[in-house]
């Protein structure tokens, strides 16, 4: 299982590759963004839905349940009518914030490099 991993000597003690396990935890089209939005605030279901307008209610429910089962997100239900449910990161979920911040930084750097490339192309075209 670990033979292909360049860090196999560090993870042979596990039954699963830690990288594969993390991929499984955050796989899914929306999980990373859900975690990202919860990294700064506790949010109600409707607030998460507003930030992800393309997601269906069924998919959001599914992704939140999965994150809850994996102990990355906690769900608090308030006994009021209409029902009020809030989602937040667990202590374990908060440990993924630095990874999400690195992903954001990489995304910004990637976009800036892309903009620089477009700008260089425009300059070359203007010189012709």
pLDDT-derived band at 2 (thresholds 50, 70, 90) equals low
The answer to whether the Cα torsion of 69, 74, 88, 93 is positive or negative is negative
Q: How far apart are CA 64 and CA 80, in angstroms?
A: 21
Lowest-confidence segment of 3-17, 29-43, 90-104 by average pLDDT: 3-17
Give pLDDT, residue 117. Answer: 76
Q: What is the largest CA-CA distance in the chain?
A: 69
Give pLDDT, residue 113. Answer: 86
Dihedral in degrees, nearest 10, Cα atoms 48, 52, 55, 56: 40
Q: What is the pTM of this model?
A: 0.82
Domains of the chain: 7-126 (1.10.10.10)
Contacts of 81 (CB under 8 A, 6+ apart): none
Q: Give the CA radius of gyration of the chain.
A: 20
Give pLDDT, residue 121. Answer: 63
């Amino acid at each position: 299982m670990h033979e292909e991993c360049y860090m196999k000597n560090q993870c042979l003690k596990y039954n699963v590759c830690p990288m594969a396990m993390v991929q499984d935890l955050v796989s899914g089209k929306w999980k990373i963004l859900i975690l990202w939005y919860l990294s700064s605030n506790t949010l109600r279901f409707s607030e998460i839905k507003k930030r992800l307008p393309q997601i269906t209610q069924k998919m959001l429910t599914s992704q939140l349940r999965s994150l809850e089962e994996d102990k990355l997100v906690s769900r608090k239900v308030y006994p009021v009518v209409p029902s009020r449910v809030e989602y937040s990161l667990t202590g374990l979920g908060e440990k993924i914030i630095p990874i999400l911040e690195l992903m954001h930084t990489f995304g910004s750097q990637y976009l800036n490099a892309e903009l620089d490339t477009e700008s260089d192309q425009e300059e070359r075209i203007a010189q012709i």
